[in-house]
Amino acid sequence: MLSLWLDHQYRFEDWSISTHLHRLQSIFRALRLPSTTCRFLALSYHIRNLKYSIRGQQNGQARHPSINPDELVRVFFPHSKINFYQTLHIGKLRLCTQSYATNKIADDSNIIFLPDGIEYSSRIRAIFTLDNDEPYLLVAYLRDLNPLTCAINVNENFAYPNILYTSTSKWNFTPIEVKDFIENSTFFRSTAGISYFLRFPTLQHCS
């Protein structure tokens, strides 16, 4: 029952936790307790952590075959039959490659994934299957991301963990399974060469 309650596929149902996030936020605000914002953020993080427990139960369906193969995938899997795709559907959620998102209004190629218990913000370079089996993702990610920090006063700074940035331009690449996917995110690169990954405030916003 818990897995259904938190399942992204059913986020529009009346009994889904995603449907009631705003109501929960209003309740916490009405209580007027100290650090209300922190309490709601803690609730959101708790829900995210519960979501980790149902990872692996989600199945992806690759769609929109691509005629442009990614040679880096062939480097990782030189002896497999590889089929490339442009989109991946996980329930009602759609992910896509960077190239497919180019010049489109919505960019669904930025994700957070969790291999070995560590979260990484990344961009989807390729979607593919091996030997006509389950789909995989080839993602590009940056190391040494730091939380955005703002000065509160001369002696104190505030770090916002949902906005990460780095000045490095060296991308790393790794194939991941669909079960490693956590949620969508947003990517932005400034004219100064700073890369930003922004995490949505709630799971409802990133759906």
Residue 206 counted as domain residue: no
Position of tokens 């957070």? 112
pLDDT tens-digit readout, 28-77: 555 444 444 444 444 555 545 444 444 555 678 999 999 999 999 999 99
- Of 15-19, 123-127, 203-207, the range with the highest mean pLDDT is 123-127
Is the same domain home to 66 and 15?
no
Is the same domain home to 187 and 106?
yes
Residue 24 counted as domain residue: yes
Residue 205 counted as domain residue: no
Residue 97's pLDDT band (cuts 50, 70, 90): very high
Is the same domain home to 65 and 165?
yes
pLDDT tens-digit readout, 151-181: 888 888 888 888 899 988 899 999 999 999 9
Is the same domain home to 9 and 73?
no
Is the same domain home to 110 and 188?
yes
What radius of gyration, in Å, describes the C-alpha atoms of the chain? 19
* String of DSSP letters for 38-80: HHHHHHHHHHHHHHHTTTTS---EEEEE-SS--HHHHHH-TTS
Q: Which of 31, 52, 73 is the last residue of a domain?
A: 52
Is the same domain home to 75 and 158?
yes
The number of folded domains in the chain is 2
Domain region containing 8: 2-52
Cα-Cα-Cα-Cα torsion 71, 119, 203, 167, nearest 10 degrees, comes to: -70
Residue 204 counted as domain residue: no
pTM (two decimals): 0.69
Residue 45 counted as domain residue: yes
Residue 118 counted as domain residue: yes
Domain CATH for 131: 2.30.30
Residue 203 counted as domain residue: no
Is the same domain home to 100 and 175?
yes
Is the same domain home to 27 and 70?
no
Is the same domain home to 28 and 128?
no
Is the same domain home to 137 and 104?
yes
Is the same domain home to 118 and 163?
yes
Residue 92's pLDDT band (cuts 50, 70, 90): confident
For position 39, what pLDDT does the model report? Answer: 43
